Amino acid sequence: MSISWPLVIFYVIALLTLCCAVLMLSFRKVIYMALTIGGVFVGCAAVYFLLGADFVGVAQILIYAGAITILIMFAIMLTNHEAAEPPLSWNLKNVASAVGCVLLAVVLLLAVRSTNWPGGGATTDINGGNTNPIVIGLMLFKQYTIPFELVSVLLIVALVGAVILAQDRKEDE
Amino acid sequence: MWNWATHPISGLSFLGMVIGAVVILLLTLLVVMYSIYWQRKLIGWIQLRIGPNRVGPFGLFQTAADVLKLLIKEDVIPSKADRVLFLIAPILAFVPAFTVLAVIPMSQHHVFTANVSIGALFYLALSAITIHGVMLGGWASNNKYALIGGMRSAAQMLSYEIPLGMSVVGVVLMAGSINLNDIVIAQSRSIWYFIPQILGFIVFMIASTAELNRTPFDLPEAESELVAGYHTEYTGFRFAFFMLTEYVYLFAMAGLFATLFLGGWSGPFLPGWLWFALKVFLYISIQFWIQATMPRMRVDQLMTFSWKVLLPLALFNLVITAVLKAVV
């Protein structure tokens, strides 16, 4: 009997990622949570690599595991050194968010199941012979030009807003 | 020969990957050992000293003796430190440093080189993960010098990564690919990119020195003000891990530099791996030369220099490259 190695590796990665996620939920110290959520992001990136989506995987590492996790850590270190979360209590907000999470999972599952994916396994070439970054570039600048430009406007607004906020604080002192 | 990228993972190719990783690890340790030896020798000669010459012929085993000493030292963990984070921080710093070596083409036949379609980006993304290790190490030590060193290191590495990435984009534009293997092939067909990309080359040299935390940008471990920066509290083999990370990055950055600007393994007469080794040696020697020559920058000049000088230069280089590419 032959073992399907990509499947084995998928289960190993999925197990590690889920471990990180469960650990993140069970930790009470915020800095440990930041570290384990970094682990979850890296695990997701590993799944993307396994699926052959190199660019998405690297973007996941660069933006989520790199920049965002570091930002979270900076925020924790510069504010409260020993920040810890109070123990869990089932109040209205927590129940509502739990229900919301389950509903989101159901919607995602239904969407994944109802989408018609190109079949044929790992050998199918859905890129038309190009490499990943080339296809993504063509998509961004042909099919999705307007959403792409709108996102860049959004980022510029966020950047300018951050600078203005930081500037105001300096004048107060 | 070792073409893993084109077919799905199988048991045999997995075994090949493990063997490849072990071989590259041994090679890296050897390179790191003799980089440290060469650093001490070269700086010694520049300062009219002899350098290490006691252990083995010409002092060749000096680094091995130093590493052995570090390995048998006591592993002290401060009682007020955050124990778990303190223990895993050196590992977090080292793993990405070693992983980035996977995409650097060290020889013509791509033995143990991954043919990733986004190689240059892979390097930049993973090197950002090391900042976690440095920052957490500084924070978990519960020491003001370590904390300041860790914070400075994170701020410096994040802000210099942007001009570094921008200078790489110029090369990517010229080669028409982010795959490091394709970039080397594109250079072997035309000229090595340090001539047409001279501006990007200069930005890359400066930004990579800052990324490596080497003089004149060694503020994170500035011994005159911060004792030793983020690894003040580390001893024994955990300290050795931080040092190893630093020198593995020196090797990896030298490999990236050779690949992007000096044509990687390509070159006349000599075999590919020898050309690659020569170019890596050149970069490492230049780093040590700068270290022996320059004083340290002031901390308030550091960020301004990255954002107000290097980044505009890199963007200007990008615009020129794009215009030339469109016109020519």
- Find how far residue B321's CA is from the centre of its chain: 26
Is pLDDT above 70 for B156? Answer: yes
ipTM of the complex: 0.81
Is pLDDT above 50 for B144? Answer: yes
Domain boundaries, chain A: 1-86, 133-173
Tens digits of per-residue pLDDT, B238-285?
A: 888 888 888 999 999 999 998 888 887 887 887 878 888 888 999 999
Q: Does domain A1-86 have CATH number 1.10.3720.10?
A: no
The mean per-residue pLDDT over the stretch B73-78 comes to 83
Tens digits of per-residue pLDDT, B1-49?
A: 345 555 666 777 778 788 888 888 898 999 998 999 999 899 999 989 8
The chain A residue lying nearest B5, using CA atoms, is A52
The tally of domains found in chain B comes to: 1
Contact A58 B122 (CB under 8 A): yes
Q: What is the dihedral of CA A85, A89, A90, A91, to 10 degrees?
A: -80
CB contacts, 8 Å: B8 with chain A:
5-6, 122
What is the value of pTM for the model shown? 0.86
Write the CB contacts of B113 (distance below 8 Å, at least 6 apart in sequence).
Answer: B102, B103, B104, B105, B106, B107, B181
Contact B117 A66 (CB under 8 A): no
Question: pLDDT band at residue B212, thresholds of 50, 70 and 90?
Answer: confident
Nearest-CA distance A32 → chain B (Å): 8
Going by the DSSP 8-state scheme, the letter that residue A120 receives in this structure is S
Q: Which of B11, B125, B132 sits opposite A38 (nearest CB)?
A: B132
Q: Is B133 inside a domain boundary?
A: yes
Nearest-CA distance B23 → chain A (Å): 22
Contact A66 B135 (CB under 8 A): no
Q: Is B8 inside a domain boundary?
A: no
| Arithmetic mean of pLDDT over chain B | 84
Give chain A's contact residues with B (Cβ, < 8 Å): 3, 5-6, 9, 31-32, 35, 38, 42, 54-55, 58-59, 61-62, 65-67, 69-70, 73-74, 77, 122, 131-133
Q: Is B183 inside a domain boundary?
A: yes
Give the domain extent around B317: 77-327
The chain B residue lying nearest A69, using CA atoms, is B132
Tens digits of per-residue pLDDT, A94-114?
A: 889 999 999 999 999 999 888
Question: pLDDT band at residue A18, thresholds of 50, 70 and 90?
Answer: very high
Count CB-CB contacts under 10 A for residue B160: 26
Contact A133 B118 (CB under 8 A): yes
Contact B8 A58 (CB under 8 A): no
CB contacts, 8 Å: B151 with chain A:
74, 77
Q: What pLDDT shows up at residue B271? A: 81
Choose the mutation target among B9, B95, B124 for the interface with A, i.e. most A CBs under 10 Å: B9
Is pLDDT above 60 for A170? Answer: no
Q: Is B90 inside a domain boundary?
A: yes
Percent of chain A whose pLDDT exceeds 90: 22
Query: Judging by beta carbons within 10 Å of its beta carbon (0-12, 13-18, 19+), is residue B298 exposed, middle or buried?
Result: exposed
Is pLDDT above 50 for A8? Answer: yes
Which two structure tokens, joined as six digits, stand for A119?
């079949």
DSSP string, B229-248: GGGTT--HHHHHHHHHHHHH
Q: What pLDDT shows up at residue B110? A: 67
Q: Is B253 inside a domain boundary?
A: yes
Q: What pLDDT shows up at residue B2? A: 46
Nearest-CA distance B171 → chain A (Å): 15
Q: What pLDDT shows up at residue A101? A: 92
